[in-house]
Structure 1
C-alpha cells in the first residue's frame, strides 16, 4: 500500500467527523464539538470535586454571600439547558487572582481575585466571562480539537514510516498546532467569552463600564509581566479594553434593577 494512502483516509475520516459535529457558538463562530453535554457535565463535576479536595475552601460567611449574590444575579438571566437548577459556587482561600466555571454549573472563585475586582460590577465581569466559556462550550471545543490533533499525529506518523519519521512528524505537526491552531484559537475563545460575559452582566443590571476598570486593575496587578500577545492565549490588556469599549457601545438598555451585592 502506498504510504500516503493512510493520510488520505485520515483526511476523509476527519472530514466526516468535523461535518457531523459542526456547530455554532453564541456569537456565530463555527465550532467542532465531539463530546455530549452529559459527558462534559460529568467531566466538570469530577474536576470540581478534585479541586475541592486539593484547594483550601474559604469559609468566611460575608465573602461567600457576596460571591453567591453576584453569581445568582448572573445565572438567573440564563435560559434553556444552561439554566441549571443550582450553580455550585465555591470560594477558595488563595492569593491567586483567578476564577473559573466548568460544564455542569460549577464556579470557583479565589479570594485573591477580590483584591483586583474591587466591586460587584468588576467581580461580575470576571464571573460572567467564565460563565461565557461554559455557554460557548469552549471546554468541549478545546478537547475536541485536541482529540482531532492527536488522531492526526498518530496516523501521520504511521503513514510516514513509523519510528524513522516519528520525530519529524511530531515536530512538524507540533509547530503547526502550537502557532497555527491552538494559540490563536485560545485568544478567540477568550475574546468571545469577554463579549458573552459583558452582555450577561449588563442584562443582569451590572455596570458594563466597570469591565474596563477591571482590566485596568488586572494590568496594574500584572506589573508588566504579561507575555507578548502573539505568544499568549489571552488578548493583551489594551486589546481587551479596546474591544470592550466597542462592544459596550452596541449594548441595548436592559433596564434591569441593579443588584445589591455587598461584602
Structure 2
C-alpha cells in the first residue's frame, strides 16, 4: 500500500503541477468538477440562510459590474478555464463582504455597497474575488490543507477502508465552505489583487479607486478589522502594492470607454 501510495502521489504531483494566470507555480490536485460541486453547495447554503436583496436598483448595479468584469477574463487571461455561466446574487446582509466560488458563483452583501462609494470601488472587490476563482486558489489551499494522501482518497483512488474515512468526511465539510471559511494565503491575496486590478481597469473601471476602496474598508471597521479583511494583508501594505501596479493598470483603463453601472 505504501509503495502504491508513493507511486500515485509522485504521478499526481507531476501531473498536478501547473501555473496560475500570472505564471506562479501551483499544485492544485482536487478535480475541477469536485471544486465546482463544493462551490455550489456552499452557495446554496448561503442562499438558504440569507435572503436575497429585493432592491432592484442595487441588484442591477451589481449584475452590471460583475458582467463587465467577467467579459474581460478572456482578454486579460486568455486560456484560463472559467465556468460557462455565473450566478450573481446580492444578499440582504449589512456586512461589507463579497466572495466568489468555484462553479461560477458570486455573492455580494448589501453592506459592501455602503462602503464602496462608486462602481469602480465595487469592481475592485468583485474583480479580486473573481481572480481567486480564476487562479484556483481554493483548490490550491484545499490541497495544502488536506495533504496528498487525503486528496487521493477524496477523488476515490483509495478505499475508505484505508483508515482515513473520517479525515475525508472532514475534508468534504471543509470543501463545502470553500472560499468562505477557508482563508487564503498572503500570496493568494496579492495575486488576486494584481489580477483584479487588471480586470477592473480593462473592463472600464478606474483602477485608482481600488486604493480608496481599501481605505474605506479600513475606516468602516472603526479600528477593528472587518470580517472581509480579517484574513487579508495589512491594508497599508495592500494599498502600497496596488499603487506600485498603477502605472501598468492605468493604460488599460485609458484605452477603454468608462463604464457606468449606476454609481450613486
Q: Which residue of 2 aligns with 1:235?
A: 233
C-alpha deviation, 1:19, in angstroms:
2.4
Hey, what's the Cα distance between the residues in 1 that align with 2:16 and 2:83?
24
The two structures, once aligned, show a CA RMSD in angstroms of 2.7
Q: Which residue of 1 aligns with 2:221?
A: 222
Among residues 15, 22, 42, which one is paired with 1:20 in the alignment? 15
Hey, what's the Cα distance between the residues in 2 that align with 1:17 and 1:149?
9
Among residues 29, 35, 39, which one is paired with 2:30 in the alignment? 35
Gaps of 5+ in 2: 152-181
What is the TM-score with the length of structure 1 in the denominator? 0.77
More off after superposition, 217-226 vs 127-136: 217-226
Map of 1:151-230 to 2, 5 A cutoff? 151=150, 186-226=185-225
| Contact residue 76 and residue 83 of structure 1 kept, 8 A | no
Are residue 140 (structure 1) and residue 135 (structure 2) matched?
no
| Contact residue 129 and residue 196 of structure 1 kept, 8 A | yes
What is the TM-score with the length of structure 2 in the denominator? 0.77
C-alpha deviation, 1:16, in angstroms:
4.1
C-alpha deviation, 1:223, in angstroms:
2.2
Hey, what's the Cα distance between the residues in 2 that align with 1:62 and 1:126?
19
C-alpha deviation, 1:112, in angstroms:
0.6
Q: Which residue of 1 aligns with 2:259?
A: 259
C-alpha deviation, 1:133, in angstroms:
0.2
| Contact residue 100 and residue 109 of structure 1 kept, 8 A | yes
Query: 3-state DSSP class of the match of 1:208?
Result: coil
Distance 1:249 1:259, change over 3 A: same
Gaps of 5+ in 1: 1-5, 153-181
| Contact residue 87 and residue 104 of structure 2 kept, 8 A | yes
Are residue 47 (structure 1) and residue 42 (structure 2) matched?
yes
Q: Which residue of 1 aligns with 2:109?
A: 110
Distance 1:205 1:57, change over 3 A: same
C-alpha deviation, 1:85, in angstroms:
4.2
| Contact residue 18 and residue 32 of structure 1 kept, 8 A | yes
Query: 3-state DSSP class of the match of 2:26?
Result: strand
Hey, what's the Cα distance between the residues in 2 that align with 1:53 and 1:151?
30
Hey, what's the Cα distance between the residues in 2 that align with 1:187 and 1:39?
25
Hey, what's the Cα distance between the residues in 2 that align with 1:43 and 1:141?
14
When the two structures are aligned, how many residues end up with a matched partner? Answer: 225
Higher gyration radius (CA): 1
Q: Which residue of 1 aligns with 2:246?
A: 248
CA shift digits 1:143-189 (9 cap, x unpaired): 1112217759xxxxxxxxxxxxxxxxxxxxxxxxxxxxx98x71111
Query: 3-state DSSP class of the match of 1:251?
Result: helix
